[in-house]
Structure 1
């Protein structure tokens, strides 16, 4: 069980530029930060069915993800933990350990660049063309994505500046598409747009084959209009990426000058962090037989299922 009585205080290590950005973009007022965190904490503590860490830093990432809107931050927390508690998602949130996803990490399906884009955003790279469907399941990919993203969400600059996705579809074909179901399309959309304390700015799609139209058609019904507008299709026009990425840090296969995409930053984020994943596994919904974990919550995870 998580001890809600002990709450580690937040120690600000942000640069002046990030403090300014947080104030202007996220409504984060340093003089009021502790009060805002405590307000959210008191809401959480009123829910006996929600047993989670209430340290300042833990709650702060949800406030930053929602521009310090108390109600939206509270709802995001509920969505996040109801997603994890949903019995239909059990396979995806069981055994969140490095050994369970090592084969996915080493395949290079999902990862991160060591450098940020021009605007200070973390860059997640997704390469479904490297997916060996005979050894890796969609549940494996979802689990790995979740583990990577919750680690990214701990980083304060990412909390403030956000994240972008570089979606490289080189090598993806109809053979891959036959393993993608609407269930996972829905779960992926919910993970990226509804249930995580991360602000995704853009999804840059490159090297898309004909199968992209079918994949996008499958996922489109589960995406908000705002999310759809964040999808930028570049094809093979890598020169368009220069508007968003510093070529010095962009891998050469995407028109940059940096070495090819490496797995090292991804390995560092996932394969050596089991204590962090163990700590996160202790957070969750506590239910009794025959009872719902949370009652009557407008906009909760259950609303997303309708």
Structure 2
């Protein structure tokens, strides 16, 4: 289902209901008490499927059964006959609408608005003026950056489903709107490039099955990493509507966890985020605080696996990485940073920035988006608990991905590069760190 706007009476009725619910949430309402946050943050609606934790909660409410449910993947009708000739590129779109989207509320940084996320809502609804402005902004980005409109979206979805149906190399691929749109959007509605990314994504899952199989956040080691705050998404959104993915490598104990645990924690985070269509459109921002990170984080990886995951991750995973902020990077990590940069596109390289202090980071990103440990208003521990509610809501959906399979990779078009031709072998253990 795509975004629909409610009538004025329905909006007011829904807003009144949510206001009543918010009054019952003492743990979270304190973050709306300061003038800055109250003016810029939208209230958090809730439902019985994914309750918001309160002070009296002893543990999270978890979904039953680690086995993927049959109804986890919504079925999509394909009764409409596909065109005889499939278009290779669906880009016939209207020009972006003109007009300035004015900021109506100022926060600590005048260019940033904060919007609390609403992940536990099954449908998309915008129940107050602030959320409507954010929804309009997301829609504007879809038109301006992705060249998306209703006609193009429906035409490309129909053609992509027909291509999957006819492709003998693809088995049990999910074909609902949300799954297919993430590929179309990241490739800006180029049908051919979207088809290639689907093949590469399925191949990535197959080649790294030890990482992608059973993407369950309740896996003991992954759950420990999440509880420790190794990786999570802030519940606040920036002025572009983007989620902020925060990683703190110093909380990764290499005597307890290995490289597979690390990769799984990241993939579960990213897969959960792109289940939200807004995140598919606006992309995400990454922040990594590398202060205190152990050298053993590097040496636990083989060079070949690390290089392949970095390269394939950009080419095969349907996520828009809009900003990458790296804080307090030790000198010993500079080689790995340069090596990783050499494996990705120039566009992604240009989006990565390094900072020597929190003050420098606050100059480009509002601290209100961050945990209180980094100058924000909400403690990291509470951000983690909210993030786990999102993971719980999408758990069965992620587990259902195991049904998909690529029988052959013959349809993937490969391009040899100089780096690809190099013989990458060995381990980072051979490196000497000063």
TM bucket normalised to smaller: 0.7 to 0.9
Deviations 1:149-203 (A, max 9, x none): 1110111111111111101102113233222331342244135422211100111
Structure 1, unaligned stretches of length 5 or more? 288-292
Name the CA shift for 1:167/1:192 in 2 (closer, same or farther; >3 Å): farther
Residue-pair matches, total:
293
Contact 1:111 1:265 (8 Å CA) reproduced: no
Question: Which residue matches 1:284?
Answer: 405
Rate the CA distance shift 1:267–1:191 in 2: closer, same or farther, 3 A. farther
Deviation at 1:47, TM superposition (A): 0.9
SS at match of 1:96: coil
> What residue is the counterpart of 2:149 in the other structure?
29
State how far apart, in whole Å, the 1-side matches of 2:266 and 2:231 are.
Answer: 7
- Offset, 1:233: 0.7
User: Which whole-Å deviations, capped at 9, do the CAs of 1:213-261 have from their partners, x for residues lacking one?
Assistant: 1321342332222222111011215344333x3333322333x332332
* 1:218-229 mapped onto 2 (5 Å cutoff): 218-229=339-350
Aligned to 2:24: none
1:136-285 aligned at under 5 Å gives the runs 136-190=257-311, 192-243=313-364, 245-254=365-374, 256-262=375-381, 263-271=384-392, 273-285=394-406
Over 3 Å counting, the alpha-carbon distance change for 1:96 and 1:150 in structure 2 is: same
Aligned equivalents of 2:361 and 2:395: distance in 1? Answer: 38
The 3-state SS of whatever aligns with 1:133 is coil
1:19 aligns with 2:147: no
Alpha-carbon distance between aligned partners in 2 of 1:271 and 1:6, rounded to the nearest angstrom: 21
> CA–CA distance in 1 between the matches of 2:412 and 2:254?
38
For 1:120 and 1:96, locate their aligned partners in 2 and report how far apart those are by CA, in whole Å: 26
**Which of residues 212, 218, 223 is equivalent to 1:93?**
212
Is the CA contact 1:162–1:200 (under 8 Å) kept in the aligned structure 2? yes
Pairwise CA distance, 1:109: 1.6
Q: CA deviation at 1:304?
A: 9.6
Counterpart in the other structure of 2:103: none
Equivalences for residues 13-92 of structure 1 within 5 A: 15-51=135-171, 52-86=173-207, 89-92=208-211
TM-score normalised by the chain length of structure 1: 0.85
Provide TM-score, normalisation by structure 2.
Answer: 0.62
The corresponding residue for 2:246 is 125
Whole-angstrom CA distance in 2 between matches of 1:148 and 1:190: 19
Q: Distance in 2 between matches of 1:57 and 1:171?
A: 39
CA contact (8 A) 1:8 1:56 kept: no
- CA–CA distance in 1 between the matches of 2:395 and 2:280? 22
Distance 1:239 1:5, change over 3 A: closer
Superposed, 1:96-111 pairs within 5 Å as 96-100=215-219, 101-111=222-232
Corresponding residue for residue 412 of structure 2: 297
- Any idea what the Cα deviations from partners look like across 1:44-82, whole Å, max 9, x if unmatched? 222122120111222112111111111111111111100
Q: Secondary structure at the match of 1:233?
A: strand
For the residue of structure 2 that corresponds to 1:61, the secondary structure is helix
Partner Cα distance (2:77, 2:380) in 1: 37
The answer to whether the aligner puts 1:7 opposite 2:98 as a matched pair is no
Deviates more, 1:123-132 or 1:89-98: 89-98
Q: Pick closer, same or farther for the CA change 1:273–1:154 going to 2, 3 Å.
A: closer
What is the root-mean-square deviation of aligned Cα atoms in Å?
Answer: 2.9
Greater CA deviation, 176-185 or 49-58? 176-185
3-state DSSP of counterpart to 2:368: coil
CA contact (8 A) 1:61 1:197 kept: yes
